[in-house]
Structure 1
Amino acid sequence: MNQHIYINGEYFDRENAKVSVFDHGLLYGDGVFEGMRIYHGKVFRLREHLQRLWDSAQAIALTIPMSIDQMTIDVNKTVAKNDLENGYIRLIVTRGAGPLGLDPFRCSNPQVIIIADTIKLYPEEYYEDGLELVTASTIRNHPAALSPRIKSLNYLNNIMAKIEGLKAGCIEALMLNHKGEVAECTGDNIFLVRDGVLITPPIDAGILEGITRDVVLELAADLGIAVREVPISRYDVYVADECFLTGSAAEVIPAVRIDDRIIGDGKPGPVTKQLTEAFRKLIRQA
């Protein structure tokens, strides 16, 4: 596929899509991004993703050099230009180039980058059989330091936890917050099922306010599944009947083992399957 990458209103092939080495997004992780799924040629929940992008940018005092409406047009044009029926969009806004040093107000020309590609976060067998988690010693950023609700380019916190998981032989790792409560995984939100009730950490537990998380909560309400957004501990994960993760790239994926403990009966459970099927039906109709 001849890939067309959008940078500030122009399209470049993969080899020629470049930003300055003095861009503060590269030098300091100073920028924000969104990851979005493409289903049947359309970006799933595009408006919600763009609103979160704008909120993240506002939180770090970064002005996006266009309107949400123009960004919508440019994202859809990029999808069409790359002729992607199903795939993934990585939308990035950096602070732009500036002199060495932390001062963001010496930067100019924020960079808007739209990459349309395919993605496969986890092997297919994990969606059928479930994946294994390990609890990382690396905790989520303290919300009073850098709010996890900001989807920033600085993902080192998550990467360090990911390294722990991979070294333990697990493709994903569970992260706790500064209070020792369950927050989320390195790239996904987490849900538990106990006695038929769907349980997930609240926003103030130090998590990203996931778009797919919100979709699953909507689907649960439609299906009449009781939901509790409450602080949870590792104990709650250990004794859960079911566990699954959600994310734009991951979609909905079951977890059947954590810290060498089997979750439930060690297989994806009925509520997980019900919500997975409801999610797949929704994206088929998207």
Structure 2
Amino acid sequence: MSQQIYINGEYFSRENAKVSVYDHGLLYGDGVFEGMRIYSGRVFRLQQHLVRLWESAAAIALPMPISIEKLTDDVNECVAKNALDDGYIRLVVTRGAGPLGLDPYKCSNPQIIIIADKISLYPEQMYEDGLELVTAATIRNHPAALSPRIKSLNYLNNIMAKMEGLKAGCVEAVMLNTKGEVAECTGDNLFIVRRGELSTPPIDAGILEGITRGAVLELAKAAGIKTHEVPLTRHDIFIADECFLTGSAAEVIAAVKLDDRVIGNGKPGPVTTKLNEAFRKLVREQ
């Protein structure tokens, strides 16, 4: 069976799945989205993702044209229609089509799109050996301009930082906030381990409140690992014993070098490995 894309309650083949060129999601990045993992045919923490989607939509005054209960059913139906045991969901809500110009009140037909597909964010070897990071000159958007807690369709800030990383030979880049503190990577949250304790930037550092981030914090606390949500600088990463990233697409992956400085012993550490194993167990037992 060919891939089936959901648009406003109907299914289309990948080749025929289309939205208007006047959609303000395309023209102005006016919309929100969620990226979710499918494990053993089920979407991991679907309700948490949908609550965050509704919060993002509320923050940009985008009326949701569907109930959360109906969208829950539709997401699960889309997974089943595409016969995905393990995969990835991209759920997009746009402002809809309207005339040229920024006025969102001239758009009256929000579009809901569900894409169920496979994803491989990093090569498997990087999960075994860890990846290298570089600090991007492009800083995270000021939270007073556009809150990073809104998962909006405008990802140009992250894309510019991603380009810096790729040009430096790294698949990920660390983004700093307006204070010069570590915020997050271009698509992942960041953790460090120091003397057996876990630290990650707080929400007010200008980060997305990641679903996988939250799951890892829960797993660490359950394992008796002390956790801290505190401001971090590059110095903290340089002197860390371990560093790892989390995200729905990335899952849990070690980082072993930042700006050509080796982190710890340059290999995925025991705490990272323990939490990665606990996370993989969690997603299979959900």
CA RMSD of aligned residues (A): 0.5
> 1:284 Cα deviation (Å)?
1.7
Could you tell me how far apart the structure 1 residues matched to 2:185 and 2:104 are?
30
- Give the SS at the match of 2:144: coil
Residues 1:53 and 2:53 aligned together = yes
**1:46-195, aligned counterparts within 5 Å?**
46-195=46-195
> 1:283 Cα deviation (Å)?
1.2
Question: C-alpha deviations, 1:202-233, integer Å up to 9, x for none?
Answer: 00000000000000000001100000100000
- Give the SS at the match of 1:56: helix
Aligned to 2:278: 278
Question: C-alpha deviations, 1:246-265, integer Å up to 9, x for none?
Answer: 00000000000000000000
Could you tell me how far apart the structure 2 residues matched to 1:281 and 1:100 are?
49
- Give the SS at the match of 2:137: coil
Give the letter aligned to residue 90 of structure 1: R
Could you tell me how far apart the structure 2 residues matched to 1:33 and 1:81 are?
21
Unmatched 5+ stretches in structure 2? none
Could you tell me how far apart the structure 1 residues matched to 2:179 and 2:194 are?
22
Could you tell me how far apart the structure 2 residues matched to 1:7 and 1:38 are?
19
Give the letter aligned to residue 262 of structure 1: V
Aligned to 1:30: 30
Aligned to 1:4: 4
Question: Percent same amino acid at aligned positions?
Answer: 77
Could you tell me how far apart the structure 1 residues matched to 2:114 and 2:74 are?
8
Report the TM-score when normalising by structure 2: 1.00
Could you tell me how far apart the structure 1 residues matched to 2:202 and 2:183 are?
9
How many correspondences in the alignment?
286
Segment drifting more, 275-284 vs 202-211: 275-284
Aligned to 1:261: 261
Could you tell me how far apart the structure 2 residues matched to 1:284 and 1:98 are?
43
Give the letter aligned to residue 149 of structure 1: R
Report the TM-score when normalising by structure 1: 1.00
Give the letter aligned to residue 106 of structure 2: R
Question: Runs in 1 of length 4+ with deviation above 4 angstroms?
Answer: none
Unmatched 5+ stretches in structure 1? none
- Give the SS at the match of 2:276: helix
Aligned to 1:232: 232
Could you tell me how far apart the structure 1 residues matched to 2:156 and 2:67 are?
29
Could you tell me how far apart the structure 2 residues matched to 1:41 and 1:196 are?
35
- Give the SS at the match of 1:257: strand
> 1:285 Cα deviation (Å)?
1.1
